[in-house]
Amino acid sequence: MTEPVLDVRNVTKTFRERGGRRLRALDGVSLTVSAGECVGVVGESGCGKSTLARVITRLILPDSGSVRFCGTEMTELRGGKLRSAYRNMKMIFQEPRSSFDPRLNIGTSIREALRPVVRGKKEQDEQIARLLLSVGLEERFADAYPGQMSGGECQRAAIARAIAQRPKLLICDEATSALDVSVQAQVVELLDQIRRETGISFLFISHDLALVSSFCDRVYVLCGGRVAEHGATLRVIREPREEYTKRLIGSVLTM
């Protein structure tokens, strides 16, 4: 059996709050993402979704548990080995503008992502143009600055930068929640197209069940730092087994 691209096992993470109170943000969370698969993580605000993303990307270390990416334990990586892992694991954030340096135009930001894999300036320029076109942006956007672009345009540019090194995994942390509904649908359609054309795996973190149901093969439902339920997306949405999942779906249907 082929090893998953991402294999998270029994991860826990506790934070100390003011007054000495301890908050367990993640409590024995396990999940997998296979090659070419899109896996959703859903739950209400504060359920542990963003903490999970930070642990997977090694922005913070778990208290216990394992995070294996492409067969390598992420929690043990340092220096060059960690940088090498990051070439194959990219993240798309909720606020696209804040993920860019406002002093750099979009072309320069993408060029910085390309440097480890594309050497010559001419080749970089050609690749920047191709990447922009692949996400539905004209070449002229290479000269634009983040502050000159709409939220949707900026998120498309962020996606172009994220796929520049052809990663094995894209982690989308509420990547569409700051966008208008019509733009959300366009961005999700773009991500689905990228997955079909490149085989990149996705971990799609969202509170929006409608988006998850249209994009993800499987879904994990988080509640209070634990996995309340997981399975094929349509099965979980149509036949939820846990009360929390039923309430979560019900809250969407009654909005």
Enumerate domains of the chain plus CATH numbers.
6-88+168-253 (3.40.50.300), 103-166 (no CATH)
pLDDT band for 68, please (50, 70, 90 cuts).
very high
* Residue 251 pLDDT: 75
**pTM of this structure:** 0.92
Q: Is the pLDDT of residue 201 over 90?
A: yes
Structure tokens at 83: 């940088």
94 vs 98: CA distance, rounded Å: 9
Structure tokens at 153: 């345009």
120 vs 123: CA distance, rounded Å: 5
**Which pairs count as long-range contacts for 14-23, CB under 8 Å and 24+ apart, including other chains?**
14/63
* Residue 94 pLDDT: 82
In this prediction, residues 214-225 reach a mean pLDDT of 94
Q: Is the pLDDT of residue 121 over 70?
A: yes
Q: Is the pLDDT of residue 254 over 60?
A: no
* Residue 57 pLDDT: 94
* Residue 16 pLDDT: 85
Q: Is the pLDDT of residue 253 over 60?
A: no
In this prediction, residues 222-227 reach a mean pLDDT of 96
* Residue 252 pLDDT: 66
Q: Is the pLDDT of residue 255 over 50?
A: no
Pick the more confident residue, 95 or 182.
Answer: 95
Q: Is the pLDDT of residue 235 over 60?
A: yes
* Residue 188 pLDDT: 87
Q: Is the pLDDT of residue 20 over 80?
A: no
Structure tokens at 228: 């309340």
Pick the more confident residue, 20 or 68.
Answer: 68
In this prediction, residues 206-212 reach a mean pLDDT of 85
pLDDT band for 66, please (50, 70, 90 cuts).
very high
* Residue 46 pLDDT: 87
Percent of the chain at pLDDT > 90 equals: 69
Q: At a CB cut-off of 8 Å and minimum separation 6, what does 7 contact?
A: 32, 66, 67, 68, 69
In this prediction, residues 210-226 reach a mean pLDDT of 92
Nearest by Cα to 75 from 50, 51, 56, 53: 56
In this prediction, residues 157-162 reach a mean pLDDT of 94
6 vs 65: CA distance, rounded Å: 14
